[in-house]
Structure 1
Amino acid sequence: MPQAAWSNKRERQYEHIKSSAVKRGTGTKRAEEIAARTVNKERAQHGESRTASKTSTQDMSPSRRGGLRSHGGAQGRTYKQLYAEAASRGIKGRSSMNKSALEKALAR
């Protein structure tokens, strides 16, 4: 959501991030949220905002981070992802395995 406090540069940055997210298939509302959060974090890191959270100022910038944290998650791959890989590898007994058993079978 463009704001009056944003400079022309930040407005252009917002529109660019939003359009890129929409092109990747993200919904319009979600794309707007991603763009606004990214721009606000950049503003906080460059001292352009009145207030900033500790994580906004001490974390790496969104542009640097890119996809470094994407898809890893705290718990790794999902059960469905593990099951699909087990199926493609032809692991027997996969239908009765839980997530941890699938992880062990795939690690072999």
Structure 2
Amino acid sequence: MPAGSDKKRERQYEHIKESQEEQGASKSRAKEIAARTVNKQRARSGESRTASKTSTRDRKSAYERGGEHSHKGAQGPTRDQLYAEARKKNIDGRSSMNKEQLRKALGR
């Protein structure tokens, strides 16, 4: 647990650590992720004495972004993600479409 933390941050740390372990991360990796996350939150809320630019630069937390940065790379969303979107829009023939065809049908 990062030094100088209050009870809220200790609970947050434990919750994140347990969650990471449930997802298959090793104990040391889970501790690292939890500590980094808590330290970043502390920096953003002004609870730490020093804060790096990267800790305070993002306007939104990962939770608030809600996957905005996901699949923005060269390949874009997966076929399954495109299929799910096509299903929501009730596009006919979607089950036999490949990724490129789904993209065109969705107007991407």
TM-score (norm 2): 0.59
User: After superposition, what is the alpha-carbon deviation per residue over 1:30-69, rounded to whole angstroms, capped at 9, x for unaligned?
Assistant: 1111111110110011000111122211312244246554
TM-score (norm 1): 0.59
* Structure 2 residue aligned with 1:42: 41
Task: Determine whether 1:107 maps to 2:107.
Answer: no
* Structure 1 residue aligned with 2:83: none
Task: Determine whether 1:61 maps to 2:61.
Answer: yes
Distance in 1, Cα, partners of 2:68 & 2:26: 22
Unaligned runs of 5+ in 1: 83-104
Q: In the superposition, relative to structure 1, how do residues 33 and 23 fare at CA in structure 2: closer, same or farther (>3 Å)?
A: same
* Structure 2 residue aligned with 1:21: 20
Distance in 1, Cα, partners of 2:27 & 2:65: 22
1:75 Cα deviation from its structure 2 partner = 4.7
Unaligned runs of 5+ in 2: 80-97, 102-108
Q: How many residue pairs were aligned? A: 84
Q: In the superposition, relative to structure 1, how do residues 64 and 52 fare at CA in structure 2: closer, same or farther (>3 Å)?
A: same
Contact 1:45–1:57 under 8 Å retained in 2: yes
1:67-86 to structure 2, matched below 5 A, reads 67-69=67-69, 72=71, 74-76=73-75
1:25 Cα deviation from its structure 2 partner = 1.1
Q: In the superposition, relative to structure 1, how do residues 6 and 57 fare at CA in structure 2: closer, same or farther (>3 Å)?
A: same
Runs of 4+ residues deviating >3 angstroms: 65-70, 72-77
RMSD between aligned residues? 2.8
Distance in 2, Cα, partners of 1:63 & 1:40: 16
Q: In the superposition, relative to structure 1, how do residues 69 and 23 fare at CA in structure 2: closer, same or farther (>3 Å)?
A: farther
How many percent of aligned residue pairs carry the same amino acid? 53
